[in-house]
Amino acid sequence: RKIYRGRMASSSVNLEDVPSVDLMTELLRRMKCSSKPDKRLILIGPPGSGKGTQSPLIKDEYCLCHLATGDMLRAAVAAKTPLGIKANEAMDKGELVSDDLVVGIIEEAIKKPSCQKGFILDGFPRTVVQAEKFDEMLEKKGIKVDKVLNFAIDDSILEERITGRWIHPSSGRSYHMKYAPPKVLGVDDVTGEPLIQRKDDTAEVLKSRLASFHRQTEPVIDYYNKKGIVADLHAEKPPKEVSAEVQKVLSS
Ligand code: AP5
């Protein structure tokens, strides 16, 4: 579905060549989406708290775009763009990249047609400065963040989640050796392509990622708490139970 959605947007694609089943699926998706309310969500939590696991489910349910600054930066690093070159060193060390870089990325990304019904921000804002700049940006558009989902979890659980994670880079699908294993070891369930481990998913780099989280990102939760829009989740629970909590918050 994803592939055709992208291609149909370009005039070079002849819709007659698109299989009927794909056209119908896309039509049904759009009809279902048209009745969904707009939602603008922020997901905050330490590395491994489950933001990337829950995002695709929320995205599909509410027809939102999923903007993960970490994924966008990793794509820029892989493509060796000027942005990627600037971000690379900080990411390898588990430190944050500069506020201006990520604010610029988000400003561009939320203009995409797929963000028409709203967005899920995963990994942004990560500093109070980013949150303030983002609020200014939204104010100019006359819109506001509806909810901030706080993936609350104890640090002690995260090392096992992070070091056991395997990823399919092109789709962003994430697996865990113990909690969400692929059908075949080291291979993506959908495409059969190889899975990889992220360079910063080591116990050593996790320490500095967690330090950045506590020092720079936790104050962002207080920032949104003052606005009364934070919902705390029990992110230590199994994925299905976390999903149920998310559903409850978003449907209320
Ligand atoms: P980023 O890519 O955003 O990484 P992160 O915040 O550290 O988050 P993760 O992707 O590691 O965790 P997640 O919560 O998505 O976990 P997941 O669901 O996969 O950022 C990387 C770097 O980019 C940063 O260090 C920084 O340098 C830079 N950056 C990004 N944004 C920035 C910004 N705004 N400003 C400045 N710099 C920025 O789950 C982890 C594992 O656990 C998986 O294997 C999963 O299967 C498993 N799992 C998930 N949920 C459960 C559960 N409930 N029970 C059991 N297992 C579970």
Q: Which two tokens stand for residue 8?
A: 């149909």
101 lines ligand 1 (CB under 6 A): no
CA separation (Å) from 53 to 46, 98, 146, 239, 243?
13, 25, 21, 8, 9
Mean pLDDT per 10-residue segment, the chain (252 residues): 42 83 91 91 97 93 94 92 92 94 93 92 97 96 96 97 93 90 96 95 97 98 98 97 97 86
Active-site residues: which are they? 51, 126, 165, 198, 209
Q: Residue 15: what pLDDT? A: 87
3-state SS, residue 230: strand
181 Cβ inside 6 Å of ligand 1? no
The pLDDT of residue 9 is 46
Instruction: Find, among 91, 146, 152, 158, the residue nearest to 120 by Cα.
Output: 146
Q: Closest ligand 1 atom to the C-alpha of 47?
A: 7
Q: What is the pLDDT of residue 12?
A: 64
The pLDDT score that the predictor gives to residue 13 is 77
The residues, any chain, with a CB within 8 Å of residue 230's CB and separated by 6 or more, are 147, 148, 150, 221, 224
Q: Look up tokens 């880079």; give the residue.
A: 169
239 lines ligand 1 (CB under 6 A): yes
Half-sphere exposure of 232 (CA within 13 A, CB side): 8
From the CA of 181, how far away is ligand 1's center (Å)? 17
Distance 42 CA to ligand 1 centre (A): 14
Q: How far apart are CA 165 and CA 181, in angstroms?
A: 9
Instruction: Judge if the beta carbon of residue 46 lies within 6 A of ligand 1.
Output: no
